[in-house]
């Protein structure tokens, strides 16, 4: 993979991991446009590197929150912090189930199927439009909410469905406070990302070629800093009910993708 391609894809991953426009969908579109011809093992390593970068940017943005949550949870009293950790664990179950039992079927969808990506982007646009109309409250995420949000996160494993868009929208439509919805959405994915990275490393499927060190490093750096920017920006946008602009964007890109897939 060329250096400039790594930087571009890193920026795409960093921005779209947090902005509600589907990181997986945009990476598929980006690879199609750039003509990515890397072998599967190289693509897997690059994807792992980019996801690690965005997970790290989440930890940096929410470092104070995470420290306070862990400090409270480690008292092992059934307080708000330990309950929050339990809700995060509960929200992970649907995605873990799909990842363990349907991994090969999911991976088969990431094969340049631009029509699927386009349709899922349009579905994301509809979800964002509905969430933007929701009235803000001061309600926090409940246990039942956490599981439902987890289901939406599992569905968002499809290329073109925005994970942040699906989880934040679901949370908001369930009547939760918009800032709390965004915070829960960004924190709930971190254990999943690190779990997936550990699984890929232990599986032995990752291969590293020193010739790709520079491009991998460039992708990591660009994804990390783009993630810092997008995460901070997204929290403010959710609070200000600006999701409709991303809804319009997803509708346009999704439509173009579908048209392009037929022309091709």
> Range with the lowest mean pLDDT among 35-39, 209-213, 259-263?
35-39
Quick one: average pLDDT of 146-150? 95
Tell which residue, 134, 127, 114, has the closest CA to residue 246: 127
What is the token pair recorded at 240? 């200000």
What is the token pair recorded at 47? 């994807």
- Give 75-124 pLDDT, tens digit per residue: 888 999 999 999 999 999 999 898 888 877 877 776 667 888 888 889 99
- pLDDT beyond 90 at 239: no
On average, the pLDDT of the chain sits at 84
Q: Residue 245: is it exposed, middle or buried by C-beta count within 10 angstroms (0-12/13-18/19+)? A: exposed
Which pLDDT score, from 0 to 100, does residue 163 have? 86
Quick one: average pLDDT of 131-142? 84
- Give 155-170 pLDDT, tens digit per residue: 888 888 888 889 999 9
- pLDDT beyond 50 at 12: yes
Which pLDDT score, from 0 to 100, does residue 69 have? 92
- Give 41-88 pLDDT, tens digit per residue: 456 677 788 888 988 998 999 999 999 999 999 888 899 999 999 999
pTM, two decimal places: 0.83
**pLDDT band at 40; cut points 50, 70, 90:** very low
Which residues 6+ apart lie within 8 Å of 20 measured at CB?
A: 124, 128, 162, 164, 165, 166, 168, 169, 234, 243, 246, 250
């Amino acid at each position: 993979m060329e250096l400039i391609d790594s930087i571009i894809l890193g920026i795409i991953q960093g921005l779209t991991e947090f902005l509600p426009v589907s990181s997986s969908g945009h990476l598929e579109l980006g690879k199609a446009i750039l003509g990515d011809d890397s072998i599967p093992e190289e693509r897997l390593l690059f994807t792992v590197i980019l996801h690690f970068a965005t997970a790290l940017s989440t930890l940096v943005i929410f470092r104070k929150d995470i420290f306070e949550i862990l400090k409270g949870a480690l008292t092992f009293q059934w307080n708000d912090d330990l309950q929050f950790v339990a809700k995060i664990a509960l929200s992970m179950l649907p995605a873990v189930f799909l990842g363990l039992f349907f991994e090969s079927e999911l991976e088969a969808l990431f094969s340049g199927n631009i029509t699927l990506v386009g349709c899922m982007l349009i579905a994301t646009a509809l979800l964002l439009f509905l969430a933007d109309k929701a009235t803000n409250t001061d309600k926090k995420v409940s246990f039942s909410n956490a599981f439902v949000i987890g289901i939406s996160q599992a569905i968002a494993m499809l290329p073109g469905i925005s994970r942040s868009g699906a989880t934040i929208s679901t949370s908001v439509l369930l009547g939760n406070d918009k800032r709390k919805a965004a915070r829960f959405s960004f924190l709930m994915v971190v254990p999943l990302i690190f779990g997936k990275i550990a699984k890929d490393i232990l599986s032995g499927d990752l291969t590293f070629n020193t010739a790709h060190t520079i491009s991998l490093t460039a992708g990591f750096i660009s994804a990390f800093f783009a993630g810092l920017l997008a995460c901070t920006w997204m929290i403010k946008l959710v609070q200000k009910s600006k999701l409709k602009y991303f809804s319009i964007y997803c509708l346009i890109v999704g439509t173009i993708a579908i048209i392009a897939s037929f022309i091709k």
